[in-house]
Amino acid sequence: MFQEDKGLIPKFSHSIFEERPATTGGILDFDTDFAFNFGLDINSINNNLNNVDIPLENVKPSAYNPVTQPLTIDPEVLNLYTQLNPKLALQSDLDMFLQSTLSNNTVPQDDTFLYGAPTNLTIPELSNIPATFYMHLIAMFFTYYHPIVPVIQESNFLENLVPNNNHHPMLMNVIYAIGCHYSKSPYLYQVPFYTPQKATEYFINRALVSTPAPETWKNINTNTLAVTQATILLSSCDFIGDKTHTWMMTGMALRLALKFEFFSDSVGYDFLTVCNNTSKFHVKCSVEERKRVWWSALLLDVFSSLSTGNPLTINEADFAETMITPQNLMKKPSTGLSKTTFNLIQNQADVFATSTSNEPDKWMPFFSGFPKDTIFGASDMSSECFARPSVGFFQVNHLFSKVDSTAHLIELSYITRRVIRFNSLRSLPEPRAIVPASLYSLLSTNNLDINRIHDTMILWYENLPSDLRLWGNLEILANGNEVELNAHCNIKEGVRLSSIAVMVNVLYFATLSLLHQRNAETTELNAQPDQPPTSSKPQSFKTSSSMLSRGVFESPAILKMAYKAQVFLLKKVYGQFMPPAPTTIPPSEIVASPIIATLLMITSSALINQQEFAFKLIDHQTFNGVGEVRDSQGVEPLESVVLPVLDNTAQLWPVASNYATSLRQIMGGIRETLRVKAPVSNLWQQNVPKEVPEYPQFSKMSDLPSTVPQFQMFPTNSQMNSSNIMTAATSVVQTSNPFQNSGNAPKDTERSFRDLRNEFEDEFLL
């Protein structure tokens, strides 16, 4: 596995894996790290901050803050900018550059005359849009989206972009489309785009037009790597499959990764390949590029299955060594019959070696500095990707993914795959006489076991690097309140998590929910009324691998812990801006991929299907006969955290809005399905204070109308059954009465006073 990041910053002029000690310095703006590297007074640059809405001394240095804070650059730094190009030798050239700055001393957006704009980058039919706009979208893509799906080796890509763009148009247009999600460039609001959404669709359509025909894939060519990368990225934009081409592109991406054997570091001709005289070509590229493509294909397969329910395409058992030992790819054995064929094909493949640039660092001036015109504005200046200053003159570190952290995501995806397969297990029919017993035994053999998978997940999480896991172990989730969770959290207050850390934790707890949701349905609490009581003892699970741990929990409690952890993570990411408004700028970490919304939906849906927690997820305020109370160790209602986050992230990924709508429909269905009728007098006497706030005209029972329709109310958790909840989840809204055989509703019924008041208003005051 790659070495973990321990304060070492890659020297990007050679390889992203050649490391040097990191320097320290402030995170300022486009070129302020230049000032640090050249010994300038950083305070003089900080003093140029203007139009700040809140005092900077009150802002935590690494806390997410959506308040816009425009930053400017000291003129001395602009003087240093001229050192980037020896052509600026004359004073007149320097004067021209300085005069071209904006009135507020910011660097002009169109400053590419320093080296000349890259060729072949603009789109001919969009003559009014300069090359700087496309470079801006490329920076958006690599900074915000690429860390989760690091399919491209950044150095090779950028070296073949400047000064001449040598990339396939399909790959370029997909990158532009993704970059539009994070940009607020003025060009997105001009002809022919008008909106970022339309711009995204425009570039996706161009990418589809550039897709090679299937019949061209019988032989390898120079575009094989780029087209495979493009299909993976194009599929990852729309996991939910709303577009007709998404499922086709997903299959194409996975088939290409398999056909050209990106899982292997060399060509291996097996016996069947030689017997059938099948052509096989080895894409000549670096092991690093092959590994990135294969890892991204594995992630795409998992994410596509989680978001659509479709079966997995790749059998992880065939490629386990590429996932659980991610520092290596497979070495395919070759049969002795293939030596001659192998040599011929290998020589042919060598022709298509990855090209390298004679000027590997020439791209750096065009991409140096933190991205401008982003939807995040200055709020993202404290994010983790900007907290890694580059060694040398150019600030480009934020463009590079931390592949050593991605390796942990790949490991987790392997566990997720096993959980998906565990949930799809079905009993085989009884064997017939014509079916040999040995064949039946072979078909039914399966080593998937919930206890083994659970224990593996617990141990795996405890061995994550401290910057990727929230707690040392999961025992704190059992009974710890929010204060205790914060006290034991590895990520201290004011420190922002990286996008990969957010992704790892959201996927981990969604996988844990997926593992236990099926088992939770078989517990006595969730048993159907017509099912006979089970005599077997329910399964219990530990939340720590420590021998000193004595806490064991059933699956419903595990589901609660997973939901609780995700809610804590969301609060950690949003900080004081929780719950966010739908129009608040979301943190960049939470919109790094549309799959995050899917994973939040999985955890919430698994818990809301549990009778013990369904009502609490709808409304945390319950009436205990004295006043409204909150359980500090209970579950947060969906309307407090998860739903606002989904509404907020829908600004970038519309699929999040679909999930929010689905959750609200489930909540409404549960409210309607679990209602029962009870006389209003009984309800009022049992659950309502004698004096009702805000309604003095009905503050006493004697003030109620003489003829009152019957109220509807919720049953207690002990009387709720999973059939009711599943009916609600499938949006079949019916009025049912679980107490129809037992007389009146129980006296200990918990009732939301807010809902009671709203219904009372609907019935009598309107």
Q: How far is CA 275 from the centre of its chain?
A: 44
Average pLDDT over residues 74-95: 43
> In whole angstroms, what is the distance from residue 199 CA to residue 55 CA?
37
Given CA atoms 106, 108, 109, 113 in this order, what sign does their dihedral have? negative
CB contact at 8 A, 563 and 514: no
Cα separation, 153 vs 10, in Å, equals: 14
212-229 mean pLDDT: 75
pLDDT of residue 269: 66
More confident residue, 489 or 755: 489
Task: Quickly list H helices, 260-286.
Answer: 271-275
pLDDT given for residue 107 in this prediction: 36
**Residue 142 pLDDT:** 94
Q: Residue 604 phi/psi, 5° resolution?
A: -65, -40
Between residues 458 and 370, which one has the greater pLDDT? 458
Burial of 318 (0-12, 13-18, 19+ CB in 10 A): exposed
DSSP state of 370: -
| Average pLDDT estimate for 62-87 | 46
The token pair that represents 353 in the structure block: 């070696």
Q: What is the 3-state secondary structure (H, E, C) of 721-766?
A: CHHHHHHHHCCCCCCCCCCCCCCCCCCCCCECHHHHHHHHHHHHHC
pLDDT tens-place string over residues 610-637: 877 887 888 644 433 333 444 545 788 9
Contact 165, 119 (CB under 8 A): yes
Asked if residue 657 lies in contact with residue 648, where contact means CB atoms within 8 angstroms, the answer is no
pLDDT confidence tier of residue 575, bands split at 50, 70 and 90: confident
Q: Are 652 and 586 in contact (CB under 8 A)?
A: yes
Between residues 347 and 540, the one the model is more confident about: 540
Residue 411 pLDDT exceeds 70? yes
The C-alpha atoms of residue 405 and residue 402 are separated, in whole angstroms, by 6
| Residue 19: its H or E element | strand 19-21
Q: What is the mean pLDDT of residues 312-333?
A: 76
pLDDT tens track for 699-753: 333 343 443 333 333 333 444 444 444 444 443 333 333 333 334 444 343 444 4
pLDDT at 449 over 90: no
The pLDDT, as a whole number, for residue 430 is 65
Q: Comparing 146-160, 325-339, 687-701, which segment has the lowest mean pLDDT?
A: 687-701
| Half-sphere CA count of 258, side-chain side, radius 13 A | 14
- What are the Cα distances from residue 238, in Å, to 178, 235, 342? 11, 6, 39
How many angstroms separate the CA atoms of 519 and 536, rounded?
13
Answer for the pair 35, 49: CB distance below 8 angstroms, yes or no: no
333 upstream amide cis, omega within 30 of 0: no
128: burial class by Cβ within 10 Å (0-12, 13-18, 19+)? exposed
Q: Give me the mean pLDDT over the 508-522 stretch.
A: 89
> How far is it, in rounded angstroms, from Cα 22 to Cα 334?
44
Q: Are 280 and 267 in contact (CB under 8 A)?
A: yes
Per-residue pLDDT, 46: 37
Q: What is the Cα–Cα distance from 138 to 142, expressed in whole angstroms?
A: 6
Rg (CA), the chain: 30
Distance CA 599, CA 602 (A): 5
Distance CA 748, CA 629 (A): 15
Q: Return the amino acid letter for 583.
A: T
At how many degrees (to 10) do helices 595-608 and 287-308 cross?
Answer: 40
Report helix, strand or coil for 120: coil
Residue 437 has pLDDT above 90, yes or no: no
Least confident of 115-129, 185-199, 316-330, 344-358: 344-358
Give dist(CA 734, CA 554) in Å, integer.
Answer: 31
CA distance 582 to 426: 42
The SS3 call for residue 552 is strand
Q: Are strands 19-21 and 541-542 parallel, antiparallel or unpaired?
A: unpaired
Q: Is-above-0.75 flag for pTM?
A: no
Q: Is the dihedral of CA 300, 306, 312, 316 positive or negative?
A: positive
Confidence of residue 358 (pLDDT cuts 50, 70, 90): low
Give the burial string for 35-46 (b: 16+ CB within 10 Å, else e). Answer: bbbeebebeebe
As a whole-number percent, the residues of the chain with pLDDT over 90 amount to 28
Structure tokens at 740: 């129809």
When pLDDT is averaged across residues 570-598 and rounded to a whole number, the result is: 91
DSSP 144: I
Quick one: 246 exposed, middle or buried, by C-beta within 10 A (0-12, 13-18, 19+)? Answer: buried
Give helix 722-729 / helix 655-673 axis angle, nearest 10°.
140
- Sign of the Cα torsion 77, 79, 80, 81 reads positive
State the Cα–Cα distance between residues 397 and 111, nearest whole angstrom: 21
Measured distance CA(651)–CA(634) in Å, rounded: 30
Q: Is the pLDDT of residue 447 over 70?
A: no
- Return the C-alpha torsion angle 201, 206, 207, 208, nearest 10: 90
pLDDT tens per residue across span 146-183: 999 999 999 999 999 988 889 999 999 999 999 999 99
Higher pLDDT pick, 91 / 393: 393
Please, which residues bridge with residue 119 across strands? Answer: 164
Confidence of residue 293 (pLDDT cuts 50, 70, 90): very high
- Mean pLDDT for all residues in the chain: 70
Residue that has been written with the tokens 């489309």 in this structure? 177
